[in-house]
């Protein structure tokens, strides 16, 4: 009986490990509703950001685009994930969000469908990013940033108030691009 219990427990644990998808394989939808995942950016350093159009930090879109432009040819991309969980500051539809970002900030980096980043409805990507980054298990506000390596592993987490072009963000991106 003990052997059976040990075997059952071992199989169960192996199943739990196997069920843990790679960050690159977690299903996503882009802003146009097409299925995608971070695997589309495999090998690139990625800055994953929950974004909003009606936030005091919305001006960070301009800095996100500038950082994207600066490093895109070196194997880097910004990935925006609209979220309406903080003060209902992203109420728009995907079409409205895309138009806002294009018209106001000339955003060319990939935007994704609106998601939740906290609570029971949190998207699996954000559940994984929060777990891997350590620290808080909650996203504090719009424009929290996760820097990922080309295999989707979290390198560093930055607070919403940390500007995308802050020296510590730029240094972390440059270091990641050298690896």
* Residues designated as active site: 55
Burial 60-77 (b: 16+ CB within 10 A, else e): bbebbbebbeebeeeebb
CA atoms of 16 and 9, how far apart (whole Å): 11
User: What does DSSP say about strands 76-82 and 154-158: parallel, antiparallel, or unpaired?
Assistant: unpaired
**154 touches 146 (CB < 8 A):** yes
Which residue, 88, 82, 100, 91, is CA-closest to 33? 82
């Amino acid at each position: 009986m003990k052997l059976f219990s040990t075997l059952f427990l071992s199989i169960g644990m192996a199943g739990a490990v196997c069920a843990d998808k790679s960050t690159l394989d977690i299903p996503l939808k882009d802003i146009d509703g097409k299925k995608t995942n971070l695997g589309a950016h495999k090998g690139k350093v990625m800055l994953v950001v929950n974004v909003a159009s009606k936030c005091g930090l919305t001006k960070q879109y301009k800095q996100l685009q500038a950082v994207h432009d600066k490093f895109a040819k070196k194997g880097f991309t910004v990935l925006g994930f609209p979220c309406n969980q903080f003060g209902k500051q992203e109420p728009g539809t995907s079409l409205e969000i895309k138009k806002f970002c294009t018209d106001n900030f000339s955003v060319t980096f990939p935007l994704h469908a609106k998601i939740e980043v906290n609570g029971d409805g949190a998207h699996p990507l954000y559940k994984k990013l929060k777990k891997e980054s350590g620290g808080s298990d909650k996203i504090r506000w719009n424009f929290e940033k996760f820097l990922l390596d080309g295999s989707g592993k979290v390198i560093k987490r930055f607070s919403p108030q940390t500007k995308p072009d802050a020296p510590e963000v730029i240094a972390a991106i440059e270091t990641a691009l050298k690896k």
